[in-house]
Amino acid sequence: MSTVIKGGTVVTADLTYKADVKIEGGTIIAIGPDLSGDETLDATGCYVMPGGIDPHVHLEMPFMGTYSSDNFESGTRAAVAGGTTMVVDFCLPDPGQSLLDALKRWDNKSTLANCDYSFHMAITWWDKQVFEEMETIVKDKGINTFKHFMAYKGALMVNDDEMYASFQRCAELGALPLVHAENGDVVASMQAKLLAEGNDGPEGHAYSRPPEVEGEATNRAIMIADMAGVPLYVVHTSCEQSHEAIRRARQKGMRVYGEPLIQHLTLDESEYFDKDWDHSARRVMSPPFRNKMHQDSLWAGLQAGSLSCVATDHCAFTTDQKRTGIGDFTKIPNGTGGLEDRLPMLWTYGVATGRLTMNEFVAVTSTNIAKILNIYPKKGAILVGSDADIVVWDPAREKTISASNQQSAIDYNVFEGKHVKGLPRFTLSRGKVVVEEATVKTEEGHGKFVAREPFTAVNKALSTWKELVAPRKVERSGIPRSGV
């Protein structure tokens, strides 16, 4: 059975051209004029683009005393409804837990997926067992990325010695370290002070995580990665301080990647002030939303290429879950949704406003991520042989975002009321039509795990730190005796 996407304009990260796309057995088998097949999808007036890849989601994740409310079924259903055809979730071992045991839990959860997916492995603690298991994770389990939390003190946070050891291990194995860059010690101290002063509302969350804590941690992680001789991926880059550190590193030749979220690009800190408690608490995430200066910095980074991809950090909690933090903002589960809205919001606020070209849109929602994750051109491309993960994008289709008709399992949407123009006409997951007009036709379990090979290019040449050469032992004749 072959399918032809007919009459559309193919848009990739570097080309825009009229062509039909023919699919068979889940892959693209031909691209060109006047193709025919058993089934035809009408793409007249539409752009045929690689499906979105969201490199940062948390589905059914145990976190802050609860579980995020979208699981692999509802989360990937939301993804495809918005044109995203692959997600990367974070496998989070409990401190002390074997990485391989944690992975079994993630393997079980993900059997519900409606589209393809992969995992990042989190390093939440450190000892010889973790060091050894990392090799199995990379060589046998198809995971080439390790996440490090520099915040969430007393829970997920790793210290600098642990991070440096893990980064060096990543360098040996050809893996890429990721960081959640916020100074967890300073955050914990500011949280305690705010609470002691009676500042217990959701605005306290924003006050306790200023851009400086993110900038400091980003700088520190970049320096540590450089000394370890590995590239670095900074998740949810939300502010100029962090972006500045990334820009500077890239200018020096370091491979450092920054990932702004669609939420930080389009929502600002006013969400935490002069709004009712539920409104603000629903928008509590880390890092928090920032002001316009930071938003402009993120848009500029996407335009100039100093920031690489746009994600969601989709980690959805219901209003009831958020309310466990009434009287203590540090207990509000951190996280917001966005999987269904990432592409339409970025198109509306990025492409339609002229901030991004269509090709840049494809680059930052799909192709750049595929390259960084080492799955290009299986994913992130419209090429013969690529997986048929495709979104047929209708620039004339519009809607007002509302929780009342979203796929996510939660009872609100942080983008409620935003009008978007540009939505999928069709979404295809490995050739299967999973969205047609506004109808979602997913098949639970259709999604498959995507294994990712180690990076062969990772080597000591990545470091700009000249001291990596063997230390020279200095021979001295006269050594004073101690105490003299």
Chain residues binding ligand DUC by CB under 6 A are: 58, 180, 285-286, 313, 315, 334-335
Query: What is the nearest approach in angstroms of Zn ion to the Cβ of residue 428?
Result: 12
User: Is there binding between residue 275 and Zn ion (CB under 5 A)?
Assistant: no
Spell out, one character per residue from 291 to 330, where the chain touches Zn ion: x when CB under 5 A holds, - when not: ----------------------x-----------------
Query: What is the nearest approach in angstroms of Zn ion to the Cβ of residue 32?
Result: 27
The dihedral sign for the CA sequence 184, 187, 188, 189:
positive
H/E stretch holding 79:
helix 72-81
285 binds, among ligand DUC, Zn ion, none (CB under 5 to 8 A by kind): ligand DUC
Residue 77 or residue 180: which is nearer to ligand DUC going by CB? Answer: 180
144 binds, among Zn ion, ligand DUC, none (CB under 5 to 8 A by kind): none
Query: What is the nearest approach in angstroms of ligand DUC to the Cβ of residue 320?
Result: 17
Query: What is the nearest approach in angstroms of Zn ion to the Cβ of residue 70?
Result: 13
Candidates 447, 339, 436; CA nearest to 397 is 436
Query: What is the nearest approach in angstroms of ligand DUC to the Cβ of residue 248?
Result: 24
Site for Zn ion in 325-354 (CB under 5 A): none
Residue 105 or residue 446: which is nearer to Zn ion going by CB? Answer: 446
Residue 177 or residue 335: which is nearer to ligand DUC going by CB? Answer: 335
446 binds, among ligand DUC, Zn ion, none (CB under 5 to 8 A by kind): Zn ion
Spell out, one character per residue from 441 to 480, where the chain touches Zn ion: x when CB under 5 A holds, - when not: --x--x----------------------------------
The backbone torsions φ and ψ at residue 333, rounded to the nearest 5 degrees and listed phi first, read -55, 130
User: Is there binding between residue 264 and Zn ion (CB under 5 A)?
Assistant: no
Give the binding range for Zn ion (CB under 5 A) out of 101-109, 388-396, 417-425, 440-448: 440-448
Residue 69 or residue 429: which is nearer to ligand DUC going by CB? Answer: 69
Candidates 211, 366, 407; CA nearest to 297 is 211
The dihedral sign for the CA sequence 319, 189, 261, 79:
negative
User: Is there binding between residue 180 and Zn ion (CB under 5 A)?
Assistant: yes
How far, in Å, CA of 222 to CA of 38, rounded? 52
The structure tokens 């849109």 sit at 361
Number of residues located near Zn ion, criterion CB under 5 A: 4
How far, in Å, CA of 207 to CA of 194, rounded? 8
Candidates 405, 447, 441; CA nearest to 426 is 441
Residue 37 or residue 287: which is nearer to Zn ion going by CB? Answer: 287
Residue 83 or residue 333: which is nearer to ligand DUC going by CB? Answer: 333
Candidates 228, 350, 226, 368; CA nearest to 306 is 368
335 binds, among Zn ion, ligand DUC, none (CB under 5 to 8 A by kind): ligand DUC
Give the binding range for Zn ion (CB under 5 A) out of 12-20, 23-31, 41-49, 435-443: 435-443
Minimal CB distance residue for ligand DUC: 285
Residue 77 or residue 180: which is nearer to Zn ion going by CB? Answer: 180
Candidates 217, 215, 198, 128; CA nearest to 169 is 128
DSSP assignment of 355-402 equals SS-HHHHHIIIIIHHHHHTT-TTTSS--STTSB--EEEEEEEEEEE--
407, 438 in Cβ contact below 8 A?
A: no
Residue 237 or residue 406: which is nearer to Zn ion going by CB? Answer: 237
Residues 6+ apart with CB under 8 A from 71: 59, 60, 109, 112, 409
245, 213 in Cβ contact below 8 A?
A: no
Candidates 39, 37, 1, 31; CA nearest to 15 is 31
Q: What share of the chain is helix, strand, coil (3-state, %, to 5)?
A: 35, 20, 45
Residue 22 or residue 180: which is nearer to ligand DUC going by CB? Answer: 180
Residue 8 or residue 333: which is nearer to ligand DUC going by CB? Answer: 333
Packing angle, helices 99-109 and 128-139, rounded to 10: 40
Query: What is the nearest approach in angstroms of ligand DUC to the Cβ of residue 421?
Result: 28
Candidates 433, 435, 430; CA nearest to 29 is 430
Query: What is the nearest approach in angstroms of Zn ion to the Cβ of residue 188?
Result: 16
Chain contacts with Zn ion (rule: CB under 5 A)? 180, 313, 443, 446
